[in-house]
Structure 1
């Protein structure tokens, strides 16, 4: 395939690409903080291909230079609008570690090099796009960064509460969630001549208005009023620290928002910010299976744009290039995860036929070696609505499906998942299908019944693992696990025993690689020591430890900022928050075997009054 043909397989990224297609003007300019990878795991490609399928002329502007309008105008001014995304992950998370250090690599940039995106990319791009295209061109923001910052939110990097991002970005409209339904509806209405200012009723969108504009809104949805931005961001004028009243108001606002994310009970949230009112329309309805299948049927190349070849491609593609997304959404209750706020708690699934067809297409790719790297989603073994009631009523607002114990109405889908696995494994050219997106072992152990559980475990061990299976117990201390919304360590141990027994019966020697989080809200030094002692007893010390990272949109981040547990049923009770040096001490305890951590481990044990275990953790632990 020559270079010209290769470029033509992608959506236009230059004026030359447009002219080859006979286009004089774009309908929509899609601007992203990520490099352009034509794969459905990348939101820009998925939404742009969807718009293309609906007949719109879409151009991709990836990682434009933000100190000039040149890149924004390289394909001219779009006819309908500019759509802006901060990328697959929040640009600040992409740029900084949990300790505030600048990352040396960026997996979503050419060659994995950092520096191709600005801080708060959505804000920067929106300002430059407005300068380039003028006031008459609608600016619509979306993607994870906008979705999780759609109302007043705590910003870890500045240690302040920031205004809803639509105000800082001065955008006309914000799309939250995955965005397919909203994106098409907005494009259609613009194409029909409707003003962006009139689009106040589209589900899954946020807009800003005045007091007069608010009073003129049609009474389409019940209105829920949140505490104002001034209330949730209140700081002491003398010390410039958050007031207790401000933190409580923030927790109340977060809880209210959390309780009203049900697409089956549409309600409109309103938050005042100075003289503006930010209005969040109800979440979009879940995609039907037909719609979900459709968006994976588009002519994706499954490759990074050829412009990146000389730089070494885009590293983030490697893991997902030959992976299949079978589901989206999550009914798990992990406090530190924002998936439920972005994708929702109602699981959406693709058909087996659609997945088989995509696997067949992958098998014809010249780089395919016979291995499907993953078959799953946020949680691989969540393959349908949590219960039958969700179809009519949606998720229970004050009750979680798995935490603290599995709901009696929770349905089991391991049989369905096993059927799909076998169908993909039978595709000619497919040698092996791995499960790398992770499974919820508590769902498997407590909801899946025999003989399905044994059949699933046996198939998993024999066919879907390459030496090790990654799982996420996250901690072992009961209070920390409760704060995280995770199951007990006893259940994890039970799963470990079942996994080991299944491997032994299959004549295999495969390992579990558990993930643990240090310094999560609720974790004291004693909690971290308990975890360290557990790992010492098990003879496992992780090579990498995740230190809790307060990112926008999560329950845990609300806890971190306020010191309050906002979850329904917790009555806004206080929760311990490790901060400052203690975060480093807790992280060191999780890797007590490293020589460079010896001083920190001793300091932690002395502060906790637990020097009685110092020999157990430190003796003979420094041989590499």
Structure 2
């Protein structure tokens, strides 16, 4: 493994004998050289192709001078807001500022601007007017068309128009960025690259053909929610690399054009990317600040695949990574595990082996690699496709092999696990092996809700699937003589969830003897189906009306009902039960949620309850590109 990080200063350039870089990469996160951080991956991919790459992380955006720190790039400036949308990174569902930024040194907030991609692109244009600007990453990817922005509560332009970038690379980006780099090196202009897959661009003339589809314009989706839903449906259905068409959206006398998605990476290509010489740590410039907190969870984890056919509607994976699973070979993962054991801070524990969904190790069915994912069918969720390949054997074998690597004491599974996929495989042996070797006392799962029409709108399995998996989990732990717990996550105020539905969830928590310490309110992030439902009040795929809790008070009620035992929530829970017509739950009976009046001397509970095999989460998880499973 090389001992070098990517270039971050003029001194680094001088030590390598470089007078100019090919690419300057502006990054909204602190620079962490680990394959879980997009800037490191793209930077290493370009480096492996012989390009000179330098990273400017979290520049002061108040002037253009910090953007000149590494000089004028020979080919282009690459810009990303970081691993999270900058607005989501900064603010909560209640639109309050977060107290911590895990992607900044020491968790410090305020190290990046709001709408970082736009700000960085405009500052870079100010610094070097004639340098091509390529934007990418999760923020650019999910805002590539006219989109609803929760934090301003309005429909915004494509981020391409606001940033004035030349090209937007959407999705994971390795293929498209490499093709863009090679084209620039050949002397092509950005206008000569419009046949590259996985990009968006702006043009004054629409490339109409029988392989292109026009969706409603920015002006139409801004003014008409039905038009917004129609545009979303088109964009949603064309996200397959095998049958997806070019999408064109008019916007103020111009056209935003999206080429079809990049083809999935082969196993050999995935292996090559993840075996590049990552240092697997933050840059030493952050040592004094205590490092970058986001690294802690993933430093000793293995990414075995990407993509997800689970299709949670509140998750952006479909729009960013796609539905087709791309996986690494066992040999590559074993080599990485062996290298991991040689790192100075490794204590013998591999924290995770997975991806967006840990147990999705292969395509949903045999046809996906040949003709793509079905346009109007889901593989799993509220229903299970009869053609779904549910085998867990490859994943079981992979976990066995990794835990046998010398120096590895334990291999955990901490990324999202789809228990409905386990149930579809009728595979109790997998659950037993999981409990015996790969659970560290707690296993995180995400039922999200228990009312069927709500879970259907979420793209999730119903409560019965969760209860059945709990039975399997309990049975396995009894056989093993272990005391281990499921940690279930639930969400409030998702589109379709009424106050009465929230009360039903509270009753479920009561019956399961659960009292969550922290809960998650739905956040309408760009690019997801659930966000389109939230904004339009309809399901764009069916046209059916969907109830949406918009009032802050109702959202507070739904959230408080999940913590009805907390005395601090008494008044809002009392009001919620009255409004829902459920005064029968106010009293002293065994089924009541709260007493008819405040009890003197009570205080909010300080610790989560444990009953049976359920334990409540200790921290609220922030929504990211992986979503919940």
TM (normalized to structure 1)? 0.94
Corresponding residue SS for 2:287: helix
CA contact (8 A) 2:212 2:248 kept: yes
- Report the CA distance between 1:404 and its aligned residue: 2.7
1:208 aligns with 2:202: yes
Q: Is the 2:495–2:549 Cα contact (8 Å) retained in structure 1?
A: yes
Instruction: Name the residue aligned to 2:38.
Output: 43
Map of 2:548 onto structure 1? 577
The yes-or-no answer on 1:591 pairing with 2:580 is no
**2:54 aligns to what SS in structure 1?**
strand
Contact 2:314–2:530, Cα closer than 8 Å, also in 1: yes
State the distance in 2 between where 1:179 and 1:413 align.
Answer: 29
Instruction: Provide the alpha-carbon RMSD of the alignment.
Output: 1.3
**Kept after mapping to 2: 8 A contact 1:34/1:88:** yes
2:287 maps to 1:293 = no
Match of 1:241 in 2: none
Structure 2 CA distance, aligned partners of 1:73 and 1:438?
Answer: 41
The answer for the alignment partner of 1:373 in structure 2 is: 351
- Counterpart for residue 180 of structure 2: 186
Asked if the contact 1:267/1:282 (under 8 Å) is kept, the reply is yes
Once residues 308 and 197 of structure 1 are traced to their aligned partners in structure 2, the CA distance between those partners, rounded to angstroms, is 39
Give the Cα separation in 1 of the matches to 2:103 and 2:408: 27
2:533 corresponds to 1:562: no
Confirm or deny that 1:18 pairs with 2:13.
yes
Residues 381-396 of structure 1: pairs in structure 2 closer than 5 A: 381-396=359-374
- SS at structure 1 position matched to 2:213: strand
CA contact (8 A) 1:360 1:427 kept: yes
Would the aligned equivalents of 1:473 and 1:515 in 2 still touch at CA under 8 Å?
yes
Partner residue of 1:256?
A: 234
Out of 435, 446, 458, which is 1:472 matched to? 446
SS of corresponding position for 1:208: strand
Between the aligned partners of 1:443 and 1:142, the Cα distance in structure 2 is 32
Aligned partner of residue 446 in structure 2, secondary structure = strand
Q: Residue 71 of structure 1: SS of its match in structure 2?
A: helix
- Report deviation, 1:488: 1.2
Q: Aligned match of 1:30 in 25, 35, 55?
A: 25
Is structure 2 residue 525 aligned with structure 1 residue 531? no
Give the one of 478, 481, 505 matched to 1:504. Answer: 478
Q: Residue 472 of structure 1: SS of its match in structure 2?
A: strand
* Aligned residues of 2:237 and 2:244 also touching (Cα < 8 A): no
For residues 57 and 168 of structure 1, what CA distance do their matches in structure 2 show? 28
Match of residue 148, structure 1, among 130, 137, 142: 142
Determine if contact 1:382/1:413 at 8 Å carries over to the other structure: no
Once the two structures are superposed, residues 462-510 of structure 1 have per-residue CA deviations (whole angstroms, 9 ceiling, x without a partner) of 1111111000000001111111111110111011011001001100010
Q: What is aligned with 1:431? A: 409
CA shift for structure 1 position 71: 1.8
Alpha-carbon separation, structure 1, partners of 2:358 and 2:229: 31
Distance in 1 between residues matched to 2:18 and 2:515, nearest whole Å: 58
Cα deviation for residue 70 of structure 1 reads: 2.1
1:566 CA displacement: 1.2
**The residue matched to 1:72 in structure 2 has which SS?**
helix
The residue number in structure 2 matching 1:243 is none
Among candidates 283, 293, 317, match of residue 339 of structure 1: 317
Q: Which residue of the other structure, out of 82, 91, 102, is the alignment partner of 2:86?
A: 91
Distance 1:187 1:605, change over 3 A: same
Return the alpha-carbon distance in structure 1 between the equivalents of residues 382 and 428 of structure 2. Answer: 24
Match in the other structure for 1:357:
335
**Is the Cα contact below 8 Å between 1:110 and 1:308 reproduced in 2?**
yes
Within 5 Å, which residues of 2 pair with 1:33-72?
Answer: 33-72=28-67
- Which runs of 5 or more residues in structure 2 are unaligned? 606-629
CA separation in 1, counterparts of 2:465 and 2:362? 23
SS of the residue corresponding to residue 233 of structure 1 reads helix
- In structure 2, the residue matched to 1:111 is 106
Match of 2:618 in 1: none
Query: What does 1:133-144 align with in structure 2 at a 5 Å threshold?
Result: 133-134=128-129, 136-144=130-138
User: Do structure 1's residue 541 and structure 2's residue 515 form an aligned pair?
Assistant: yes
| Counterpart selection for 2:577 from 575, 588, 605 | 605
Asked if 1:124 corresponds to 2:119, the answer is yes
* 1:324 and 2:302 aligned: yes
Q: Is the 8 A contact 1:270 1:278 kept in 2?
A: yes
Instruction: Give the 3-state SS of the residue equivalent to 1:549 in structure 2.
Output: coil
State yes or no: 1:223 paired with 2:199: no
For the 8 Å contact 1:25–1:76, the answer to whether it is kept is: yes
Shift of 1:622: 5.3
Instruction: Describe the superposition over 1:576-612 as per-residue Cα deviations: whole angstroms up to 9, x where unpaired.
Output: 0001210111000011111111111001001111011
* Distance in 2 separating the partners of 1:488 and 1:404: 7
Shift of 1:413: 3.3
Aligned residue pairs, count: 595
2:382·2:455 contact (CA, 8 Å) conserved in 1?
no
Match of 1:9 among 4, 21, 26: 4
Contact kept in structure 2, 1:329 and 1:346, CA below 8 Å? yes
Contact 2:79 2:136 in 1 (8 A): yes
Q: Say which SS state the counterpart of residue 443 (structure 1) adopts.
A: helix
1:344-396 superposed Cα distances (whole Å, 9 cap, x missing partner): 00000000000000011111000101111100000000011100111221010
In the TM superposition, residue 623 of structure 1 has moved relative to its aligned partner by 6.5
Could you tell me which runs of 5 or more consecutive residues in structure 1 were left unpaired when the two chains were aligned: 235-245
- Paired residues of 1:593 and 1:622 also in contact (CA < 8 A): no
Kept in 2: contact 1:263–1:283 (CA 8 A) = yes
Deviations 1:405-458 (A, max 9, x none): 111110023110000001110111111011110210001002x13xxx122111
